[in-house]
Structure 1
Amino acid sequence: MTNHYQSTRGEPRVALVTCTELVDLDPDDRLVLAPLAARGIAAEAVVWDDADVDWSSYDLVVLRSPWDYALRRDEFVAWASSVPALVNPAEVVRWNTDKRYLAELSAAGVPTVPTSWVGPGESWLPPADTGEYVIKPAVSAGSQDTGRYDLADPEHRQLAAAHVRRLSDARRVTMVQPYLTAVDTEGETALLFLAGPDGLAFSHAIRKGPMLTGPDPGPDGLYKAEEITARTAAPAQLAVAEKTLAVVPGGTAQLLYARVDLIPGPDGAPVLVELELTEPSLFLGYADGAPDRLAEAVTTHLARRG
């Protein structure tokens, strides 16, 4: 039976946090509005950096599409720390918005894409080998400032070095990773987990087609276009996802949602590309019942705060 939470102020109010470019929410996120309304929950889109918002007036503040934060991460993390009833919570936001968390997960035994890091002001030369590499900033959203480089191509080598210099000059940490060619055939698998009465539970999975076709062309909007289809998660993928979630600082009970992005490694076994705990697309439109499951997750977190 659905557990309807009732605020002491009447109908519970939930803020779905977005950005000025998406004041009416991403279309996928709008799918949760009707299930929330059916549960007696008033939800509204609210822009994260709107100075006129009284965040304490909401019973729950749910991060959804604040996708313009990457160049203002310090401001965003400080904002998150000031917001009561935020999910996922501010400490998770602080940890998860800098992809150097991948090094922590790798050290904890999670299979991850091998990554090297270039700090601001550090010199970097393309590796001597001639494979393909991905270069991106440690703080980013929507594959912004991300490029794919074939180091067998002299021009690509120059463009790769220029990409790292551009990020370094902007005082940003750079990630350099080998390109996993299985993404061209198998694609990337995103496993979605949502809060339930017994904790975080697997909801559904999707496949993303390959997105990176070459060097970073520069600013091109909030996020790159994606080719999405529904997918059935394999046992090996679920096992890596569970292993990943098991080492999240503070545990998973605090989470409203989690997205685990995997690609087959050179041996075919799944490896972690990203663990999305801050503002992931949840792909609600690609699985029957997913909008209802997210609404139930919201209800669960409201009940905990009631």
Structure 2
Amino acid sequence: MSATSIALVTAAAARDLDEDLPPLAAALRDAGMDFHIVDWDDAAVDWAQFGLAVLRSTWDYTMRLPEFLAWAERVSAATRLVNPLDVVRWNTDKHYLGDLARAGVPTVSSHFIEPGEDAGVLLERFLNVHASQEFVVKPTVGAGSRDAQRYGHEERELALAHSMRLLEAGRSVLLQPYLDRVDVHGETALVYVAGAFSHAIRKGPLLHRGGEPTRALFAAEHITPRVPHADELRVAESALAAMPFEQPLLYARVDLIRDGADKPCVLELELTEPSLFFAHGDGAAQRFAQALLETLRNS
């Protein structure tokens, strides 16, 4: 290995689940680039031997966030981490949705309950604001719909119990109205590479009433290609412009959902370890490989 080698960083549990790795590996080989697929928590890895460490599928970090952030800090001191450490710190906790909303970006209405706060009072306050809608309870540190669940107002006791389980584990809670346009329209995820729009996909609805929150790394998804509407592109680009970081980032994914007025709003801004759905965008893996090459040259 050398300073021109790239580490594609994953997790042992995610290696066989990351559908982006095979096409990306093929694109990197075709470009003549040296790369290695490595687990983020492999203590035997010497990160200084890589020119870039690229976060790709470190999907088990959500239950190990302090450990993961400490690792990211060490790696950042040894090589160039992409996306960078300050992005990782900000984006691994969904409190960032509040930052986007305060910046004027259309987002799904987001309310937070912190450990030590009165969950019952705050849940009732939220339900009074969103009186006519189903709602979602999820942890602020989470991915792939893990530990997320959809509820009706008549299930507030179940929702409170869910919230308390998260809070008792030291996890902050995110409450959001369930925007039922997703049941028909799905989510639109827009992928950007080196600041430029690459491709988009449609995700089918993931949360269903009466089920249990998934305990797997991520919930099963139904993915198809999608051409985004002009209003979706505008909202996605407003979210990227509002990020408090030097731009452009190597990669970003903006997940949008339509509200009751049929306006797109940000559900999540994925900057740390998102699936980029290369299989659903012609030339997407090749564009990403080229962006990696340019990033490496400029390191």
Question: Fold conserved (TM > 0.5)?
Answer: yes
User: Residues of 1 paired with 2:211 and 2:47: CA distance?
Assistant: 37
SS in 2 for 1:181: coil
User: Residues of 2 paired with 1:221 and 1:116: CA distance?
Assistant: 25
User: Residues of 1 paired with 2:246 and 2:68: CA distance?
Assistant: 22
User: Residues of 2 paired with 1:294 and 1:65: CA distance?
Assistant: 15
RMSD: 1.5
Structure 2 residue 168 is matched with structure 1 residue 169? yes
Query: Among 232, 237, 250, which residue is 1:256 paired with?
Result: 250
Structure 2 residue 290 is matched with structure 1 residue 291? no
Partner residue in 2 for 1:135:
137
> What are the ranges of 5 or more consecutive residues in structure 1 without an aligned counterpart?
1-6
Partner residue in 2 for 1:85:
80
Partner residue in 2 for 1:3:
none
SS in 2 for 1:261: strand
Partner residue in 2 for 1:29:
21
User: Residues of 2 paired with 1:34 and 1:23: CA distance?
Assistant: 15
SS in 2 for 1:94: helix
Partner residue in 2 for 1:233:
228
User: Residues of 1 paired with 2:141 and 2:177: CA distance?
Assistant: 18
Partner residue in 1 for 2:156:
157
1:48-95 Cα deviation digits (max 9, x unpaired): 011111011111111000000011111111111111211001110001
SS in 2 for 1:280: coil
User: Residues of 2 paired with 1:157 and 1:250: CA distance?
Assistant: 38
User: Residues of 2 paired with 1:214 and 1:20: CA distance?
Assistant: 32
The alignment covers a number of residue pairs equal to: 289
Give the AA of the match of 2:109: P
Partner residue in 2 for 1:75:
67
Aligned-pair CA distance for 1:214: 2.3
Give the AA of the match of 2:110: T
User: Residues of 1 paired with 2:279 and 2:174: CA distance?
Assistant: 31
User: Residues of 2 paired with 1:67 and 1:214: CA distance?
Assistant: 25
User: Residues of 1 paired with 2:150 and 2:210: CA distance?
Assistant: 5
Structure 1 window deviating more from structure 2 (292-301 vs 24-33): it is 24-33
Which TM-score applies when normalising by structure 1?
A: 0.91
Aligned-pair CA distance for 1:215: 5.1
SS in 2 for 1:91: helix
SS in 2 for 1:95: helix
Once the two structures are aligned, what percentage of the paired residues are identical? 49
User: Residues of 1 paired with 2:203 and 2:147: CA distance?
Assistant: 19
Aligned-pair CA distance for 1:216: 6.0
Aligned-pair CA distance for 1:297: 1.2
Query: Among 93, 108, 129, which residue is 2:103 paired with?
Result: 108
